Structure 1
Amino acid sequence: MNPLHTLLGTQAQRLAEPLPPRRLRITWYVLVFVLGVLDALCGCFVQALWSPWGLLLALAGNVAVFYGGMRLTGTKLGLALGLVGWLLVMFVLLAPRPEGDFVLSAAVTSYAYLLGGLAIGLGVGLLPTRAPYAFGIPRQRD
């Protein structure tokens, strides 16, 4: 059996796992959003500071937040909230300031971090989750 297949699982394996209780899921959603914000903030500085290894470290942080959010919550909404938090910070940090300062420069590593993070978010979104459809929670039958 493929080790990657064992790690990521199949749709049938994810559906067999019980979903966390609703209150816990909501807590995880908030936590994943905050982790996405922190990941973007830290990743912007790490990728520029320790090039090229910093870029790989920052992208590994993206994988951890996005995949971890999806697995903790059992839904793709967990992934989406981490990605939204990450994107909000990225948009702010990409904008030049009136003083002429900027956080993300027009360097190859900055663009690689932006596009790589988006690709990772979209790629993780294609993996199986506990919910059988996009962002919803399957109905619990009594």
Structure 2
Amino acid sequence: MSNPLHTLLGTRAQRLAEPLPARPVRIAWYAVLFLLGALGSLCGCFVQALWSPAGLVFALIANGAVSYLGLRATGTKLGAGVPLIGWFLVLLVLLSPRPEGDFVLANGLDSYVYVLGGWLPGLICATLPTRSPFTFGIPRQRD
């Protein structure tokens, strides 16, 4: 009986056997993933506050989904990390107070969980084994 998670995500051997996309394709993916991470941060700040607690769960799952997309689309660990960079940079702007006294993220448990837990799905995705042009993450083949 096959594991449904392996069917969805693929096995370790399948992920390591996937070919890397060409360098220009990876660079384009990095730009798209950065923008998706930034957009996810902006949307996540509002969604987690509007539909608490389901919005918080949705925002965290979306962070993980974009990071996993980056991992699989680029075949590198950097692909999982680039959305986090965009997410974090937009989050820094949204966390800063404005002169008028307005703010996007209010003090509350949901906001703290979003800020402190939003990077965790991307970090988990970055630890998964991948193909990499620098052989980082590829187990050594014994002769």
User: Under TM normalisation by the shorter chain, which class is it?
Assistant: 0.7 to 0.9
- 1:133 is matched with which residue? 136
Structure 2 stretches lacking a partner, 5+ long = 138-143
- 2:62 is matched with which residue? 61
- 2:75 is matched with which residue? 74
Q: Quote the Cα distance in structure 2 between the aligned partners of 1:119 and 1:29.
A: 19
Give TM-score scaled by structure 2 length. Answer: 0.86
Of 2-11 and 51-60, more deviation after overlay is shown by: 2-11
Give TM-score scaled by structure 1 length. Answer: 0.87
Q: Quote the Cα distance in structure 1 between the aligned partners of 2:45 and 2:116.
A: 13
1:1-142, aligned counterparts within 5 Å? 1-131=2-132, 132-133=135-136
CA RMSD of aligned residues (A): 1.7
Identity among equivalent positions (%) equals: 63
Q: Quote the Cα distance in structure 2 between the aligned partners of 1:103 and 1:81.
A: 23
- The alignment partner of 2:70 has SS state of helix
Q: Quote the Cα distance in structure 2 between the aligned partners of 1:119 and 1:23.
A: 28
Residue 10 (structure 1) shift: 4.1
Deviation string 1:72-125 (CA, Å, 9 cap, x unpaired) is: 100011111111000001111111112111001111111111122111121111
